[in-house]
Chain A
Amino acid sequence: MTRQREEIILRRAVARLRAAVMAVTFGATGGAALFLATAWLLLRGGENVGQHLGLLRNYLPGYSVTWGGAVLGLAYGVVLGGIAGASLAWTYNRIADLRGAATTRG
């Protein structure tokens, strides 16, 4: 392969996001973040534990700043993070495809 061709291949390559990978990554991060944030408040203790974080129950039914809530939060984090990651990847890839097609036609 000529160097020129290699350069073209390298420069033209547009990264794609893998929905599954993004879902797992965001899911794992989201779940862990929510679990750790809850656990941290519980371990610190004090009065009125998790006054603000507890507001999440508005969106995540059943969630509270308790050990049970931490586990539930983990599950929510995994699911919602996963959905967010997959959607991000899906949207990115669609836009990149559309733009790629437009460039090739142009």
Chain B
Amino acid sequence: MVEGVGSEEAQRADGAARQRGGEPAVVIGGGPAGLTAAYELARRGLPAVVYEKDDIVGGISRTVERDGYRFDIGGHRFFTKITEVEALWHELLGDDLIERPRLSRIFYRGKFFDYPLRPVDALLKLGPVEAVRIVLSYLYVRLTPRGEERSFEQWVVNRFGRRLFEVFFESYTEKVWGIPCSEISSDWAAQRIKNLDLMAAIRNALLGSGGGRGGKEKGEIVTTLIDRFQYPRLGPGMMWERCAERCAELGAPTHLRREVVRLRHDGGRVNEVDVRRHDGVDGGEGDGGGEVETIACSSVVSTMPVPGLLRALDPPPPDEVLAAAAKLRFRDFLTVVVVVDREHLFPDNWIYIHAPEVRVGRIQNFKNWSPEMVPDASRTSLGLEYFVQEGDELWSAGDDELGALAARELAWLGLAEEDDVVGHYVVRMPKAYPVYDRDYEQALAVARRHLEGIGNLHPIGRNGQHRYNNQDHSMLTGMLAARNILREAESASGSSATGGAAGPAHDLWAATEDDSYLEAPERGSRSLADRAVPRRLEEDDLAAGDERLEQAIAAAFARYDPVALGGAVGVIAGALVFLLTAVLLLRGDEPLGPNLSLLGHYLIGFQVSWPGALIGALEAALLGFGFGWLLARTINLLVDLAAESVVRECELEGLLDPFDLSRLED
């Protein structure tokens, strides 16, 4: 377990850090990004210390434990395409990282729909009337596409038809974001599917998710159609507890209930940070705060939210920077975990709740993530997830009130009896989602420019870079930040004290902006050492096998050239008619080809004569051309429809789960 400041272990570790000389690197936040950075620094012998304002490590990837029930904030699948991240998970968790099957479905109108949505399944379950409405509205938009796509609603309707939008998108998206779909910018939808790996999707459609190079040996192929995932036996928090323990052993302690409230800098470097103790009952910010300690530092790795970081700078940034920071918004998250006195409720890991009649957005069944998440196998713990805004009426509601609401909604949905609910726990997670609204990009650019002016300050991670990401990406930024610090240390000492492990400088924000930094998992994972500058992975990384497979896929979806096929059929048909006629003419039998001349019924002017042969050949060539052309067009249409259905399916998949980044960001 991670120890606090006063503990013997932490003190020993602190001492060790100081002994190695120099001020420590201060890491703000004991979530995945911060702990990964600390671990990387510590194992290369650089002093580091982590301050975490909560009383638990793991950040959003924590595992909360109440009365033996363990639960995540959401549910955290472990999957990545980054070799080092995968290696670190295995190094720290070993056999405790288990592989789990994935099942998640959409619950709507009392029925479970396959997720990813499969058109036939959906249409069958919605019933004939609804199915016809969906198909008709789809055909309508396909035939009369609208030009304007400013809002998310317009974007989806244009692609899938209004009815499908109403059934599967509208209520869920509005629950998630808390604003009408007509007010959500279409950029968000485009952003969600921008990295969609078309080849991977088609490969999956053709070969199933095990297809392609490596198959199962190389771990799961991280595709949009993933059906298994890794998960620590005791939840994601297990990973971060282990990591914090290892850091402490290596001399980088984690101090809980310590909030960094001020970063004192001289314009170019942060020299000290002020840390406030929160040793009250609650820990965290809410307990009023205790004494403040000033810590000298050599550098700072920050995972605290960008606006908070800017406000904590001393001297403060100019007003326009603070104003920009204030525009960065977050969506908050609340989980009500109810304990149901039933051994088995449903087989899914989680269920999406689209029904507009209830407020719950998603329901996790933690036992299906790992059986060890419940202390008593005869009971089931369900996490009902509500997407909220800090301070709104749900956020402010009392725990009992929320427990009652959750039980009521479960019963309404028919997933459990209200009377079977025997307990509840509530966890509120502020700033769970950085919001990508119309203003965020510009505001973030202003904030970033200012932060880049402070050389030894390294903002990383999800809220640290206002990046809507997964653990692995946060960890990547942590690793890169550590390498930059090592590099600084090496150049300051003029030696390669750390064994030259740092490599060239890494642009932390580039890893955030350039999606290809993390792209193309199954085409060979990248080693961090290669990541001097972000570059597109596909150029040189396509393994030969995959390249061939992709060529084959491209060939399978290739279009026939209608003119070429028409031409070829025409030439063959014309030549055939000419040859058949010529043979009879050359043999000179009497009467001349009474049967062949019947072709004259179809080829006007055709006779078994030399001029007839020419006319017939010409006409046959024209007809052949028409036939070949039509054939090519028809095949192309069918190929287009097949390709389009794969693309649409992927787009659907990416859009249906606005918070499930694995589906697209991988």
**A joins B in a complex:** yes
For window 545-601 of B, CB contacts with A under 8 Å fall at 550, 553-555, 557-561, 563-565, 567-569, 571-572, 576, 580, 583-584, 587, 589, 593, 595
Are A10 and B557 within 8 A (Cβ)? Answer: yes
Q: Flag whether A95 is at the interface (Cβ < 8 A).
A: yes
Using known A-B contacts A3-B198, A55-B595, determine if residue A91 contacts B558 with beta carbons closer than 8 Å.
no
Q: Are A59 and B561 in contact (CB under 8 A)?
A: no
B561: A residues at CB distance < 8 A: 14-15, 92, 95-96, 99
Asked if residues A6 and B199 are in contact (CB atoms below 8 Å), the reply is yes
Q: In the complex the two chains form, is A10's CB within 8 Å of B568's CB? A: no
Q: How far is the CA of A6 from the CA of B523 in the complex (A)?
A: 14
- Asked whether B196 lies within 8 Å of A58 as measured between CB atoms, the reply is no
Q: Is the CB of A15 within 8 A of B569?
A: no
Instruction: From known contacts A10-B557, A13-B559, infer whether A58 and B583 are also in contact, taking CB-CB under 8 Å.
Output: yes
Q: Does A7 contact B (CB under 8 A)?
A: yes
Asked whether, in the complex, the Cβ of A99 is within 8 Å of the Cβ of B564, the reply is yes
**Can you name the residue of chain B whose Cβ is closest to the Cβ of A83?**
B572
Residues of A within 8 A of B193 (CB): 3
A104 and B555 CA atoms in complex are apart in Å by: 19
With beta carbons under 8 angstroms apart, the residue of A10, A89, A92 that contacts B567 is A92
Q: How far is the CB of B74 from chain A (nearest CB, A)?
A: 27
Q: Chain B nearest CB: distance from A66 CB in Å?
A: 20
Q: How large is the interface on B (under 10, 10 to 19, 20 to 34, 35 or more residues)?
A: 35 or more
- Cα separation A95 to B13 with both chains bound (whole Å): 75
Cβ-neighbour of B559 out of A1, A3, A14 (below 8 A): A14
Inter-chain contacts of A91 with B (CB < 8 A): 567-568, 571-572
Residue A9 at the chain B interface, CB threshold 8 Å: yes
For A16, what are the chain B residues with a Cβ–Cβ distance below 8 Å? Answer: 555, 558
Which of A87, A92, A99 is packed against the most chain B CB atoms within 10 Å? A92
Please state if B587 and A58 are interface contacts (CB–CB under 8 Å).
yes
A99 and B629 CA atoms in complex are apart in Å by 15
For the complex, is B298 an interface residue (Cβ under 8 Å from A)? no
| Given A1-B538, A15-B555: A87 touches B572 (CB 8 Å cut-off) | yes
Q: Which residues of B contact A11 (CB under 8 A)?
A: 559
| B137 contacts chain A at the CB level, 8 A cutoff | no
* Chain B interface helix/strand/loop/mixed: helix
Q: Roughly how many angstroms separate A88 CA and B559 CA in the complex, as a whole number? A: 17
Contact assessment for A52 and B595 in the assembled complex, using a CB-CB cutoff below 8 Å:
yes
Q: Does A48 contact B (CB under 8 A)?
A: no
Q: A3-B195, A7-B198 are in contact. Are A13 and B557 (CB under 8 A)?
A: yes
User: Would A92 and B564 count as touching, CB distance under 8 A?
Assistant: yes
Query: Which residues from chain A contact B571 at a C-beta distance below 8 Å?
Result: 87, 91
**Residue tally, chain A, CB below 8 Å to B:** 27
Asked whether any CB of chain A lies closer than 8 Å to the CB of B516, the reply is: yes
Interface assignment of B643: CB less than 8 Å from any CB of chain A: yes
In the complex formed, the residue of A with least CB distance to B520 is: A1
Looking at the assembled complex, report how far the CB atom of B351 sits from the nearest CB atom of chain A, in whole angstroms. 29
**Other-chain contact of B569, A7, A88, A96, A99 (Cβ < 8 Å):** A88
Q: Does B332 contact A (CB under 8 A)?
A: no
Closest chain-A Cβ to B108's Cβ sits at a distance in Å of 29
Q: Given the complex, which residues of A lie within 8 Å of B569, measured CB to CB?
A: 88
Q: Which of A13, A87, A93 contacts B554, CB < 8 Å?
A: A13
Instruction: Assess whether A84 is interfacial by the CB under 8 Å rule.
Output: yes
B564 with A95: CB separation less than 8 A: yes
Interface centre among B196, B550, B554 (most CB of A within 10 A): B554
Bound-complex Cα distance A77 to B558 (A): 30
The interface residues of chain B lying within 8 Å CB-to-CB of A9 are 550, 554
B195: A residues at CB distance < 8 A = 2-3
Binary contact readout A1-45 vs B (1 if CB under 8 angstroms, 0 otherwise): 111001101110111110000000000000000000000000000
Among the interface residues A7, A10, A55, A96, which one has the most CB atoms of the partner chain B within 10 A? A10
Answer yes or no: B194 CB below 8 A from chain A CBs: yes
CB within 8 Å of A: which B190-214 residues:
193-199
Q: Measured between alpha carbons, how far is A93 from B565 in the docked complex, in Å?
A: 9
Q: Which A residues are CB-close (under 8 A) to B538?
A: 1
Contact across chains for A92 and B565 when beta carbons are under 8 A apart: yes
Give chain A residues whose Cβ lies under 8 Å from the Cβ of B536.
1-2
A3 lies within 8 A of B196 (CB) = yes
With A6-B199, A58-B584, A84-B572 already in contact, the answer to whether A15 and B567 are too (CB < 8 A) is no
Q: How far is the CB of B582 from chain A (nearest CB, A)?
A: 11
Task: Report chain B residues within 8 Å CB of A59.
Answer: 580, 583
Given the contacts A1-B520, A3-B194, A15 and B559 also touching, CB distance less than 8 Å: yes
* Chain A residues with CB below 8 A from B567, complex form: 91-92, 95
- Verify B558–A15 contact, CB threshold 8 A: yes
Q: Do A95 and B555 have beta carbons less than 8 Å apart?
A: no
**Which residues of chain B are near A2, meaning CB under 8 Å?**
195, 516, 536
Assess A13 versus B555: contact at CB under 8 Å? Given A92-B565, A99-B563. Answer: yes
Chain A residue at minimal CB-CB distance from B561: A96
Q: A15 to B556: give the CA distance in the assembly, Å.
A: 8
Closest chain B CB from A52 CB (angstroms) = 7
Contact B565 A3 (CB under 8 A): no
Within 8 A of A (CB), among B501-522: 516, 519-520
Residues of chain B with a CB closer than 8 A to A15's CB: 555, 558-561
Query: Which residue on chain A has the smallest CB distance to residue B576?
Result: A84
Check A1/B595 contact, CB under 8 A, given A15-B555, A92-B567.
Answer: no
Chain B proximity mask over A73-106: 1 for CB below 8 Å, otherwise 0? 0000000000010011101110110010000000
Report the Cα distance A25→B567, complex, angstroms.
20
Please, how many angstroms separate the alpha-carbon atoms of A35 and B83 in the complex?
60
Interface residues of A (CB under 8 A from B): 1-3, 6-7, 9-11, 13-17, 52, 55, 58-59, 84, 87-89, 91-93, 95-96, 99
- Please give me the 6 A-B residue pairs with the lowest Cβ-Cβ distance, nearest first: A92-B568, A13-B558, A95-B564, A15-B558, A96-B564, A91-B568
> 18 additional contacts, CB 8 Å, given A3-B197, A15-B555?
A1-B199, A1-B536, A1-B538, A3-B193, A6-B199, A9-B554, A10-B553, A13-B554, A13-B557, A14-B561, A52-B595, A55-B595, A58-B583, A84-B572, A89-B568, A92-B568, A96-B564, A99-B563
18 contacts between A and B (CB under 8 A): A1-B519, A2-B195, A3-B194, A6-B197, A6-B199, A7-B198, A10-B643, A13-B558, A13-B559, A14-B560, A14-B561, A17-B568, A52-B595, A58-B589, A96-B561, A96-B564, A99-B561, A99-B563
